[in-house]
Chain A
């Protein structure tokens, strides 16, 4: 076995609030019952995957002023469902998406430290920055944060949380019944932090957890988002799962690391990736086509179209060509789609994108629905288990990624065939673990141990 082969990192994303999760399949189960989460997490652990991943959105998505009703709606609370999963798994990492705008560092730091304790060192935090006033309506401060400050707040939030985690060094608790000494120091957890976003001081009340701090994930795509990841994250969750885009993104982000005094192995890049398996590649292609049709119903195709065109297209024929007129350009707050990161992405340059879509539809002779399927629903890996395993390995060895956050289209059983059929092939190739190497997620991801806590904080 060649030692020069990169080891693949794999995570399981819980299929949730998204049109890629197919709820109309007879095998589709509950999106909220705990058994569904248990099944996916335990399946992932059976496959020796690195971590279980949960997304989050803090306001139900809306479309044209009404709650979007075509996709899955509803999800659990991130921290509590991960803490409950810690009870029914032993090794797998538990990664939760938690927003840095509508939370406060003292509370989030103690929630992650607690989750890390309660899972024996398996906690990870996907730091996201949704800031919009629409989401803010569910929280005390409303939409208080200007868009251009979202990463500044995220950076300083994470720095503040890190100061809280580091406020206990790990040697405070002696609990000596004989001498009556519980703490080695009378005043653990002291902290003071003052900047434009947070002015807090006092004592943190959770002792240093097994990992010291959770593994940090980041999932933003802008230049600022990439820099944030390059300074502070252990893992990037990206959308780039097409080979060329993925390689470009990988090179871009890894090349940012030296600027921040970090090495290439300190940041893993894991794109989101779907898969469809068949006994043969042709069978898989056919199955993939069926799944895409279920993911993009005629009604869903129109809603997608309305997201980009940003206007009512309820009369548009999904089996006809794209609209000939241009999208309505508007501020984030004026979009037809609300609480939808994908729609915000589309709104960055809607007219150019519409032209791109029209060109593609024309060149490939696609109807509206077919086009939407092509631009939204395409699974990354389609084929026989051998084809999919080879393709995943190619991406990783070619530096298009360090692995993937695997999503399936079905709850709860969608991940099972991947674990049963693809994982063993990757193991045979010697590019994926057959046993967990360590006890903490950090160890299993092959990330260097955190240095000892010192009095001076790390430079950010």
Chain B
């Protein structure tokens, strides 16, 4: 028997597999495909204070081994999520919920975290800092250490729940951002979010996405994510990392753990194969046996040792 359980800042997950924000809605679409209780946790759609309609069509473009999305944080807003989604989740999933929260100002980040304080099932706040700061000309909070630190400080003061900052890969030195978040009391980090990209439509000679740019995800980004998890693990070895980006198999999940992750999020793979997380979870014991561990948590950071 392989022990698949892992720990994230005091929260126990029965296995390290977590559907990533934006690819799992609030869980409803997957409840008919498999029993949600097989999951370690799930991260819900990035939620803002106000409802957001998102970007105009088209919002999706295919790429080699992946996709671009420019959904634009479409979500029903925090109040509707608390009223309609949280009670539904309580009935259909009994593990820890990771609440992905976004904001366009420091105040909004703090407010969104406070709003979830009484949502008991929400065990971790995953703070998406790839959001434009309306007070700084739309520059992303995640794009420099100062603003990433400012968000961490604001959310740390607003909640007792563990906060994991979800880092953007669109930076020169992700380790520097990770350190800035750690210094302000982040309980953990999640990485990576999508890589900024673009496709041009040869028929119109214009960008394919109405938003022009979109976020790249899927197997194409996997090696970038593994490298960034590696760098962040070296920079802040004490903080638990949720590794994310291009994971589509139990083997890829194991690579993330070996690079330094304590748990693994699966994003775009869910869209191509709605049963992706179930298959990965079922394949994990076999991969652990092959790697010679009887506790999957022993894999975390394994690639850094024994050099």
Co-assembled chains A and B: no
